[in-house]
Amino acid sequence: MADHKSLRPEGRSFEGPAGDGWRARPANHPRRLVIAITGATGAVYGVRLLEVLRALPNRQTAPVETHLVVSDAAVLTLHQETGLQRKQVEALADVVHKQNNIGAAIASGSFQCDGMVIAPCSMKTLAAVAHGLSDNLITRAADVMLKERRRLLLMVRETPFNLAHLRNMTAVTEMGGIIFPPLPSFYHQPQTIAEMVDHTVARVLDLFAIEHELAPRWAGM
């Protein structure tokens, strides 16, 4: 479990406790996140994450540069679930990479960044990550995060799970990745789907020590 007191979100570099899979980024590099949207239902999570990162309250002093990859299957789910076209979603990111561009900067461990979120993550992409199958830019970038000991968060979505899904989630966890199914909570009494989504996205930002004002924090009963 990360000790958040040891994180320095306002600074130019993060240091997680040893062994938590979070490698420090050099102080002179900007905060950067790789975001992938794959073809599981829940495309709204990736879209909302991009929107929030563009509008961070402290974006002038501590911006987060976003590098986006949208899978071909995600183009379908994005349209089905949000009505958005690929171009509209890509316009929310600072840098856009094509899924088959295996020569992109994010395919290399020399690209400095704070980590990667796959939001949402299909069982197919989960399986590829779990087995080191770098067959496209998304799975290659995820592979790089694991080998470089950077934070990798998979918003896996399927129900129910079969044994392959469960084993693949275990394998990713054993390699240091974070399995983060976007399961809504109800204790904060959400009134809208947007509130539910924001609550989940807020927890994702917390895991990267990115300050936000997205959702109220639990202050006890």
Please report, as ranges, the residues that interact with ligand FMN according to CB under 6 A: 38-41, 71, 73-74, 76-77, 80, 122-125, 157-158
Least gap, CB of 182 to ligand FMN (angstroms): 10
d(CA 190, CA 163): 32
Query: Please, which residue, 16 or 39, has the CB nearer to ligand FMN?
Result: 39
Least gap, CB of 2 to ligand FMN (angstroms): 28
Q: What angle do CA 106, 111, 112 make, to 5 degrees?
A: 125
Tokens 């204790």 belong to residue: 187
Query: Please, which residue, 19 or 83, has the CB nearer to ligand FMN?
Result: 83
Least gap, CB of 139 to ligand FMN (angstroms): 8
Closest CA to 210 of 42, 26, 1, 7: 7
Closest CA to 37 of 74, 77, 84, 63: 74
Least gap, CB of 174 to ligand FMN (angstroms): 21
Q: What are phi and psi of 53, to 5 degrees?
A: -65, -30
Least gap, CB of 135 to ligand FMN (angstroms): 9
Least gap, CB of 173 to ligand FMN (angstroms): 18
Instruction: Tell me how far the alpha carbon of residue 214 is from its chain's centroid.
Output: 16
Query: Please, which residue, 21 or 39, has the CB nearer to ligand FMN?
Result: 39
Least gap, CB of 73 to ligand FMN (angstroms): 3
Query: Please, which residue, 124 or 212, has the CB nearer to ligand FMN?
Result: 124
Query: Please, which residue, 54 or 124, has the CB nearer to ligand FMN?
Result: 124
Query: Please, which residue, 121 or 209, has the CB nearer to ligand FMN?
Result: 121
d(CA 99, CA 163): 28
Q: Which DSSP string corresponds to 41-87? A: S-HHHHHHHHHHHHT-TTTTTS-EEEEEEE-HHHHHHHHHHH---HH
d(CA 66, CA 47): 12
Which single residue brings its beta carbon nearest to ligand FMN? 39
CB atoms closer than 10 angstroms to residue 18: 6
Query: Please, which residue, 66 or 139, has the CB nearer to ligand FMN?
Result: 139
